[in-house]
Structure 1
Amino acid sequence: MSKTRTAASETEGARDDTARSPSLWLAVLSLTAFAALIALGVWQVERRAWKLALIDRVEQRVHAPAQPIPSPGVWSAVTAANDEYRHVSLTGRFLHDRETLVQAVTEEGPGYWVLTPLQRGDGTQVLVNRGFVPSERRDASARRDGNPDGPVEITGLLRMSEPKGGFLRNNVPQHNRWYSRDVAAIAAARGLHEAAPFFVDADAGSQSGGGPIGGLTVVRFPNNHLIYALTWFALALMLAGWLFVTFGGGLFRRQRIVHEPAGGPDASARRTGSDAGTIVEQT
């Protein structure tokens, strides 16, 4: 009876130790998660460096003296990375009868951007975002005094086309409803066959009295990459601590060897086998 109870006790203890010990698959998943968190943190650090370089580049473009817009021969090579927000200048005559109103919300409130083609001397056209008008001035007749008829010189920021539409709202050219400054679609709707693939946000100083309010371009680039990086690294650190406690804690536990004489006072309670004279205890 005593031997049977002892064997059952040893089997139960072995089962408990197995249940308590972390499994291999859990270790592999934890290490994979740790590596992924570190990779995400490093990626955010790299993104932050890229964003800071972008902000510095754009700031230099915005505040640089105005230069002539790219010539038609290189329009196909104009890209956001190389050209957007360049301070440019151009001359021509506005085609006010082909203006397009694009819904907008600005610091002045809700209303419209007024995009008007500028006919240039070489026969090409460039869409110019002349600025913002509130809803009560959307009709061109309400701002006729601000629409110059003769040649004008415009300075502003080169912007890339905004195809298809705005957030959850698609442009509807056939109904003259516009939610984004889609240059190709506006040019097609207004019969502009030599239009540039970009548009220009006019400076405030380019507008005449009574015209749209220019100079409202918002140049802002969210830069939260440092916070994201610190978050990923903090999660990796917490996971590393959990891994250490769960898998590595036993490496630093001291063992105390207890030698008991064969007839010690606790022998009946602690001796279960022929080698029970030496007992190992965790401390």
Structure 2
Amino acid sequence: MSDASVPKDRRFPIGLTIATLIALAILCGLGVWQIKRLAWKEDLLARIEVLKTAPAQPLAAVLARADKGEDVAWTRASVDCAPAGAETLPLVYGVRDGDIVWRATAPCRTAAAGYGVILLDLGVVKALTGQPTPAPVTLAAPARAVGVLMAPKSLGGDRQATVQRFAAERPAPYILMVETATPVPPGVTPAPLPAEISNRHLEYALTWFGLAVTLLIIYAAMLWRKMRS
């Protein structure tokens, strides 16, 4: 029997099938992506748990491992900074405990594994909490800092642009989120770790896969009705 002799309402719905397959591929792709995010988040949470009791390592040794290809993000490190004058760098916008906060940064000059400077995230400027357009803050790097190394791309704000200000000094590829500083920067509260890290990726993955199954059921029901009518 040719297609021309088959009533239109009983022909195989090619357009609907293609649209369903495309939507199904998107939903399954989102589900797989969330599974990958789940593995990444579990590794991150495990690193943070180890970090709670890990001693600080010299920055030079840690960056030397990074140069060999090791991922040293979320490693506690210590660094001694050469004396330098105060500098005005862009504040970094953030949200903490529901409030707008502004984080201060300062360059730490140090000869660590061949790098000339590493950017320090000193913490939250308390006086600027809640302000939408704060005035610039000028701060000097402390003589010594202990903190957690983070990759600029994993942090909020355009930190990479700030790092590039010191391109001539070969800046380190990580930012040190300061936990303790000597001397303590005036008016700044260290806040190296996120206030809360949620892990709902399994829930999101099940949602996407559930939508994919629902789509298949709806498609099968529509196809059954169409071919049966």
Q: What interval of TM-score do these two structures reach, taking the shorter chain for normalisation?
A: 0.5 to 0.7
The question of 1:225 aligning with 2:224 is answered no
- What secondary structure does 2:71 align onto? helix
CA distance in 1, matches of 2:83, 2:102: 21
- Contact 2:124–2:190 (8 Å) recurs in 1: no
Could you say which structure has the larger radius of gyration?
1
Which of these residues, 129, 134, 139, is aligned with residue 121 of structure 2?
129
Q: Alpha-carbon deviation of 1:98?
A: 4.1
The Cα shift of 1:90 comes to 1.4
The match for 1:186 is 165
Q: In the alignment, what sits opposite 1:138?
A: 137
> What SS class does the counterpart of residue 235 from structure 1 fall into?
helix
Contact 1:130–1:212 at 8 Å: present in 2 too?
Answer: no
In structure 2, C-alpha distance between the alignment counterparts of 1:184 and 1:60, rounded to whole Å? 28
Tell me, in whole angstroms, the C-alpha distance in 2 between the residues paired with 1:124 and 1:196: 7
User: Cα RMSD between the aligned structures?
Assistant: 4.2
Q: What do the CA deviations read for 1:209-228 (whole angstroms, capped 9, x no partner)?
A: 56242421243555443233
Q: Could you tell me how far apart the structure 2 residues matched to 1:132 and 1:74 are?
A: 29
The residue that corresponds to 1:158 in the other structure is 149
Cα distance in 1 between the residues matched to 2:225 and 2:186 = 74
- TM, length-normalised to structure 1: 0.56
Conserved? CA contact 1:91–1:120, under 8 Å? no
Q: Which amino acid aligns with 2:116?
A: T
Give distance in 2, aligned partners of 1:31 and 1:200. 48
SS of the residue aligned with 1:245? helix
Match for 2:178 among 196, 199, 202?
202
Name the structure, 1 or 2, with higher relative contact order (CA <8 Å, separation 6+).
2
Equivalent residue for 1:52?
42
Structure 1: gaps of 5 or more residues: 1-13, 141-145, 167-178, 254-281
Identity %: 21
CA distance in 2, matches of 1:77, 1:123: 11
Identify the residue that residue 211 of structure 1 maps to in structure 2.
186
Q: Say yes or no: does 1:66 pair with 2:39.
A: no
Provide the rounded CA distance (Å) in 2 between the counterparts of 1:90 and 1:105.
Answer: 25
In structure 2, relative to structure 1, the CA distance for the partners of 1:213 and 1:181 (3 Å cut) is: farther
Contact 1:162 1:181 survives alignment (8 Å): yes
Q: CA deviation at 1:26?
A: 4.3
Distance 1:22 1:31, change over 3 A: farther
Aligned length: 213
1:82-121 matches, within 5 Å, as 82-98=71-87, 100-105=89-94, 107=96, 109-120=100-111
SS in 2 for 1:41: helix
Q: Extract unaligned runs of 5+ from structure 2.
A: 129-133
